[in-house]
């Protein structure tokens, strides 16, 4: 009987002007759950289900294959080069557009954003046009026996292009919101530029920086389109994990393809976890600014 009386009390209390009727709440929440289940949860479940479809043995055997191991190594190598470079660049870019006012500033911000909106295929194509056999530097490179396209350097360049905006984008709104009163105070107390950066700015932006770096890393390890164009797909030489997935899948080694995919899916989940945490910490930090 207690249940019945609480329901009555509930319905007698006037609804707040900002809240929706219960029926609407139920419908909208259900729609959201269904939409997310269909587009987000199911694809994720499928990856792990298919990875273990043929049993744990097949799953583990995939990771004993030298080509898979090489693909994992190459992915780590490319991300290991691209992420630190784009982090350094992102810091410089965010510093320059949030600390100073100069003509063309907002145009520069748009240019920094550009690679996010250009097709990743174009990210590969442009390097083929510069370094490829018929490209600008093609003949010169051939004379000196340097390979960039269909080799690792080209894949690093393509990855640099597509992951280039992430760190700067994470930092610019944060640094704009934080302002630079502390930095100016430090300056009047005699600190130089590097001291200001290491002791004042970096602690202020560390969570925003982590947020950008983790997204940059996820994209660097998972990039497919741009890297595919410049890779040449040579197994054991220019094959990253996403490209290896494609080869395995096209060879009907579905369980193996999903086994490699499950590793990248785990990376994505880890990325989301760290990202949510960093986002939350960055918000806390912003709130603490008087």
Residues 205-264 that bind other proteins (CB under 8 A): 215, 218-219, 221-225, 228-229, 241-243, 245-246, 249, 254, 257-258, 261, 264
What minimum distance in Å lies between the beta carbon of 44 and other proteins? 7
Separation of alpha carbons 212 and 210, rounded Å: 5
Q: Are 81 and 216 in contact (CB under 8 A)?
A: no
Pick from 58, 61, 108, 151 the residue near other proteins by CB under 8 A. 108
At closest approach, how far in Å is the CB of 255 from other proteins?
Answer: 11
- Reduced to 3 states, what is the DSSP secondary structure of residue 274? helix
Residue 262 C-beta: closest distance to other proteins, Å = 8
CB of 93 to other proteins, least distance (A): 4
Binding residue (CB under 8 A) for other proteins from 78, 157, 172, 216: 157
Q: How far is CA 179 from CA 113, 186, 269, 283, in A?
A: 22, 13, 33, 15
Measured CA to CA, the distance from residue 147 to residue 191 in angstroms comes to: 46
Q: Considering only residues 2-21, where is the footprint of other proteins by CB under 8 A? A: 17-21
Among 198, 272, 284, 289, binds other proteins (CB under 8 A): 272
Q: Interface with other proteins includes 121 (CB under 8 A)?
A: yes
Residue 62 has a CB neighbour count (10 Å cut-off) of: 24
How many Cβ atoms are within 10 Å of 278's Cβ, its own excluded? 21
The residue among 6 and 119 lying less far from other proteins, judged by its C-beta, is 119
Candidate residues 58, 61, 76, 130; the one interacting with other proteins per rule CB under 8 A: 130
What is the rounded CA–CA span in Å between residue 97 and residue 176? 9
By C-beta, is 42 or 202 nearer to other proteins? Answer: 42
Beta carbons within 10 angstroms of residue 257's beta carbon:
22
């Amino acid at each position: 009987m207690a249940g019945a009386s609480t329901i009555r009390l509930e319905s007698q209390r006037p609804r707040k002007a900002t809240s929706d009727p219960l029926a609407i709440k139920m419908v909208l929440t259900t729609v959201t759950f269904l939409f997310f289940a269909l587009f987000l949860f199911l694809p994720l479940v499928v990856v792990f289900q298919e990875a273990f479809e043929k049993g744990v043995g097949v799953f583990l055997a995939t990771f004993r294959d030298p080509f898979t191991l090489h693909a994992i190594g190459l992915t780590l190598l490319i991300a290991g080069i691209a992420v630190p470079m784009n982090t350094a660049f992102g810091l410089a870019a965010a510093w320059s557009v949030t600390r100073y006012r100069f003509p063309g500033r907002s145009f520069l911000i748009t240019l920094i954003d550009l690679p996010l909106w250009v097709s990743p295929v174009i990210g590969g194509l442009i390097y083929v046009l510069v370094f490829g056999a018929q490209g600008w530097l093609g003949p010169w490179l051939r004379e000196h026996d340097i390979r960039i396209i269909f080799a690792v350097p080209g894949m690093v360049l393509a990855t640099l292009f597509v992951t280039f905006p992430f760190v700067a984008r994470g930092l610019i709104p944060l640094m704009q919101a934080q302002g630079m009163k502390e930095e100016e105070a430090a300056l009047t107390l005699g600190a130089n530029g590097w001291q200001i950066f290491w002791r004042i700015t970096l602690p202020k932006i560390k969570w925003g920086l982590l947020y950008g770096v983790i997204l940059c890393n996820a994209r660097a390890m998972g990039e497919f389109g741009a890297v595919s164009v410049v890779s040449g797909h040579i197994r054991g030489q220019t094959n990253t994990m996403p490209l290896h997935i494609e080869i395995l899948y096209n060879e009907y080694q579905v369980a193996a393809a999903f086994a490699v995919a499950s590793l990248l899916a785990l990376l994505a989940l880890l990325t989301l976890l760290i990202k949510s945490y960093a986002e939350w910490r960055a918000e806390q930090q912003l709130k603490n600014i008087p």
